[in-house]
């Protein structure tokens, strides 16, 4: 963005953003318009660089008096940089189009802010014609979908899988990590059969996403391309966490990742607001 670290030209970066995905007949423009009843939208829409005609990704600022951060982060988000209200929060909104199917992706730098915004939209009836979209993790992680096919230059690989065990008195959770977790000995000898027979289905997974993009100067491409990377954490409830690098420079990977999962046939309707699970965890 710019070198200014506070106020309208700052950005909450180097953190996980919380995303939700909905399917339905609304738009990014309607989303920003609806949010004006909650707080001022203080920044003109900023299009974040994506190259696909399927996507529209925008970044804007929401001004609120409530603080969702403390310490240095609160000072950065404060409009005057003094840690006092009002605060400016970075929000992302994306449209992913597949013919008649339209998906909207909303991103927030804080879980509590995400919960409050979605509750507000529910109360206003904005989401009444949409469906929350989760990932069928059993299908996504099945052997015939490993590795995921590259989607418009985006390659993703599984680097983490978590199973929450409810029917074994000796286990509570199993986490597999690394660049090839499905070749871990415990998976091959013990978990694989339960997974393939759908006795134990994964509760969370982590995708390492990478895409080569052309570097441009004066509209002339410079090669070789620049590799942009991030990790997408997915749970079965429909929550997504995406790590944003400095200045949120890798934000453009998010729509590609969702489109890749959708192209693999692994998006599905989930019951209820997936942020309710986050809300319970915040209350604990």
Judged against a pLDDT cut of 80, whether residue 120 lies above it is answered with yes
* DSSP element (H, E) containing 73: helix 71-77
155-205, pLDDT tens digit by residue? 999 999 998 877 777 778 889 998 889 989 989 998 899 888 888 889 999
Q: Whose CA is closest to 268, among 96, 139, 99?
A: 139
The Cα 194–Cα 216 span in angstroms is: 49
Instruction: For residues 202-229, give the mean pLDDT.
Output: 76
**pLDDT: which is higher, 62 or 3:** 62
250-261, pLDDT tens digit by residue? 999 999 999 999
Judged against a pLDDT cut of 80, whether residue 9 lies above it is answered with no
3-class SS at 145? helix
Out of 18-22, 133-137, 198-202, pick the least confident. 198-202
Judged against a pLDDT cut of 90, whether residue 278 lies above it is answered with no
Judged against a pLDDT cut of 80, whether residue 14 lies above it is answered with yes
Token duo for residue 180: 């090839």
Token duo for residue 103: 């998906």
The DSSP call for residue 273 is -
Q: In this structure, what are the phi and psi dihedrals at residue 211, rounded to the nearest 5 degrees?
A: -145, 135
39-89, pLDDT tens digit by residue? 999 887 778 878 888 899 999 999 999 999 888 888 888 888 788 899 999
């Amino acid at each position: 963005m710019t070198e200014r670290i506070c106020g309208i030209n700052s950005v909450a970066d180097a953190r996980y953003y919380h995303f939700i995905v909905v399917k339905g007949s609304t738009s990014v423009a309607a989303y920003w318009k609806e949010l004006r009843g909650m707080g001022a939208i203080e920044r003109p829409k900023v299009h974040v660089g994506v190259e696909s005609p399927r996507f529209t990704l925008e970044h804007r600022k929401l001004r609120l008096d409530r603080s969702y951060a403390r310490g240095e982060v609160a000072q950065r988000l404060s409009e005057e940089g003094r840690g006092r209200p009002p605060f400016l929060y970075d929000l992302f909104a994306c449209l992913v189009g597949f013919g008649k199917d339209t998906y909207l992706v909303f991103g927030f730098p804080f879980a509590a802010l995400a919960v409050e915004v979605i509750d507000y939209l529910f109360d206003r009836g904005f989401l009444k014609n949409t469906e929350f979209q989760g990932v069928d993790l059993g299908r996504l992680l099945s052997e015939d979908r490993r590795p995921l096919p590259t989607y418009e230059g985006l390659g993703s690989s599984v680097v983490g899988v978590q199973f929450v065990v409810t029917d074994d008195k000796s286990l509570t959770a199993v986490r597999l990590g690394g660049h090839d977790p499905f070749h871990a000995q415990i998976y091959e000898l013990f978990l694989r059969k339960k997974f393939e027979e759908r006795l134990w289905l994964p509760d969370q997974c982590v995708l390492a996403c990478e895409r080569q993009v052309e570097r441009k100067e004066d509209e002339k491409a410079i090669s070789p391309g620049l590799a942009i990377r991030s990790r997408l954490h997915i749970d079965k409830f429909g929550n997504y966490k995406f790590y944003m690098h400095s200045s949120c420079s890798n934000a453009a990977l998010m729509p590609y990742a969702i489109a890749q999962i959708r192209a693999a046939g692994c998006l599905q309707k989930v019951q209820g607001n997936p942020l309710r699970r986050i809300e319970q965890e915040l209350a604990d």
